[in-house]
């Protein structure tokens, strides 16, 4: 039987991202890997979560393992709403809030609810590849928009919106990660956030704000400078997504979306048929953690952990990469972006790095929907020891120097 002939049109356009295809290569046990985009398990509050689990089992018994309501446990929705208001200045009602099973599910459901084939989505160059893949699965046309030190280039965005309309692609939303972006580590200025909101209002386009990393800021950063676009939104123009994956534990798979009630209701219907509900156990663990008041103190330690890693990587890059590359200095998050000074294609460089030096990174090109970025790479410091940061970057610098001639 020809099973390919049985596939739906949507299934036929699904592709595994290049990053997923490289997983086996970069995750070999003897490889020093700067590739992982995940938080460090060393930051997970294992003892507190274990004690909380035991407390919940004793109190909840079988209820802990029962289905939940599709939109999410009302008590956790209330706790998330309170925290969003306190931390981000976001005012969102229960009708404007839904819990999802991790940010990736949120990306999928927003795409499912908003996108028809041929619709236009606008993303940063570079962009989180998990978002690009999610939107392309619904046969959207994804337009890349130039990015500078302050955020998305708004004039280029206007041009791309006009280009989309001229080509018959209806602009639906602008997807951005304004704080410590994956993959670049970049953070938007307050002025650029305001400008994007004004542009979106003028153009009649939604903003989809993904704030997965916004609470992972380093010392010296004023949290007010990271204030969400959604907190400035007076016209229900912004969908905001946050997650506990980066600030508590990724495997809990608990994230949330604030947005217009009409859209949140449709996301709820998508979730009803998608997975019925998020894990009751995970929701209870997150709720209990919040109610104990542990998260803020825990986050202080998480920020210190990643800042030390980032500083060590900056020092090592300064020792080994000064004549080979330019790189940014993220003020938070998990990632650092490197542009090679010579026109070296980072994809074949990766294969050589793994085979010859046992070092891995993620090439930049997969993050660019326009195919650019070949001589760039993303480095993550979250899961590498200080010793291996030094060893790995030294080895990688030798390989780059050899490729540059």
CATH match of 66-291 with 3.40.640.10: yes
Model confidence pLDDT, tens digit, residues 323-359 = 999 999 999 999 999 999 999 999 999 999 999 999 9
pLDDT value at residue 15: 77
pLDDT value at residue 18: 67
Residues pairing with 257 in the sheet: 98, 241
Q: Residue 318 pLDDT more than 70?
A: yes
pLDDT value at residue 79: 99
CA 259 to centroid of chain Cα atoms: 18
**Cα dist from 188 to 176, 192, 241, whole Å:** 10, 6, 17
Q: Residue 153 pLDDT more than 70?
A: yes
pLDDT value at residue 26: 67
> Could you give the angle at the alpha carbon of 42 between the alpha carbons of 376 and 103, nearest 5°?
60
pLDDT value at residue 326: 98
Helix, coil or strand: residue 230: helix
Domain parsing of the chain, residue ranges: 3-45+297-404, 66-291
What predicted TM-score, i.e. pTM, was given to this entire model? 0.97
Model confidence pLDDT, tens digit, residues 191-218 = 999 999 999 999 999 999 999 999 999 9
Q: Residue 241 pLDDT more than 80?
A: yes
**Cα dist from 164 to 10, 118, 167, 171, 307, whole Å:** 21, 10, 5, 7, 40
DSSP 8-state class, residue 178: -
> Could you give the angle at the alpha carbon of 177 between the alpha carbons of 34 and 244, nearest 5°?
75
Model confidence pLDDT, tens digit, residues 1-54 = 888 889 888 888 887 776 776 677 767 889 999 998 899 999 999 999 999 999
Model confidence pLDDT, tens digit, residues 264-279 = 999 999 999 999 999 9
Helix, coil or strand: residue 373: coil
Q: Residue 315 pLDDT more than 70?
A: yes
The CATH number corresponding to 3-45+297-404 among 3.90.1150.10, 1.10.3720.10, 1.10.150.20, 4.10.1240.10 equals 3.90.1150.10
């Amino acid at each position: 039987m020809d099973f390919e002939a049985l596939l739906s049109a949507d299934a036929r356009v699904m592709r595994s991202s290049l990053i997923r295809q490289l997983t086996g290569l970069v995750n070999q046990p003897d490889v020093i890997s700067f590739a992982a985009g995940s938080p460090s398990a060393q930051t997970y509050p294992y003892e507190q979560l274990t004690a909380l689990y035991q407390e919940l089992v004793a109190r909840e018994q079988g209820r802990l393992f029962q289905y939940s309501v599709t939109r999410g446990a009302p008590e956790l929705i209330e706790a998330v709403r309170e925290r969003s208001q306190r931390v981000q200045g976001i005012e969102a009602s229960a009708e404007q809030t839904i819990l999802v099973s991790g940010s990736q599910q949120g990306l999928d459901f927003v795409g499912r609810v908003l996108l028809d084939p041929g619709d236009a989505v606008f993303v940063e160059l570079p962009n989180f590849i998990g978002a690009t893949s999610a939107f392309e699965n619904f046969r959207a046309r994804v337009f890349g928009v130039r990015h500078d030190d302050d955020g998305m280039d708004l004039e280029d965005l206007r041009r791309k919106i006009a280009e989309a309309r001229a080509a018959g692609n209806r602009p639906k939303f602008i997807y951005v990660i304004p704080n410590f972006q994956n993959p670049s580590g970049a953070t938007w200025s307050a002025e650029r956030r305001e400008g994007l909101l004004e542009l979106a209002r003028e153009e009649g386009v939604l903003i989809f704000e993904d704030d997965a990393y916004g609470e992972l800021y380093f010392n010296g950063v004023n949290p007010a400078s990271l204030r969400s676009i959604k907190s400035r939104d007076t016209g229900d123009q912004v969908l905001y997504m946050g997650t506990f994956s980066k600030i508590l534990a990724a495997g809990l798979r608990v994230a949330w979306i604030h947005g217009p009630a009409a859209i949140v209701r449709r996301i709820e219907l998508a979730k009803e048929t998608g997975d019925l509900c998020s894990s009751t156990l995970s929701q209870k663990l997150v709720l209990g953690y919040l109610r104990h008041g542990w998260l803020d103190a825990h986050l202080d330690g998480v920020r210190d952990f990643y800042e030390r890693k980032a500083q060590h990587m900056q020092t090592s890059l300064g020792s080994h990469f000064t004549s080979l590359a330019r790189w940014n200095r993220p003020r938070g998050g998990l990632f650092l972006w490197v542009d090679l000074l010579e026109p070296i294609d980072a994809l074949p460089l990766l294969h050589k790095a793994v085979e010859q030096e046992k070092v891995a990174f993620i090439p930049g090109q997969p993050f660019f929907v326009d195919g650019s970025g070949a001589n760039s790479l993303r480095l993550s410091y979250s899961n590498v020891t200080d010793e291996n940061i030094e060893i790995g970057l030294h080895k990688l610098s030798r390989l780059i120097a050899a490729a540059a001639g």
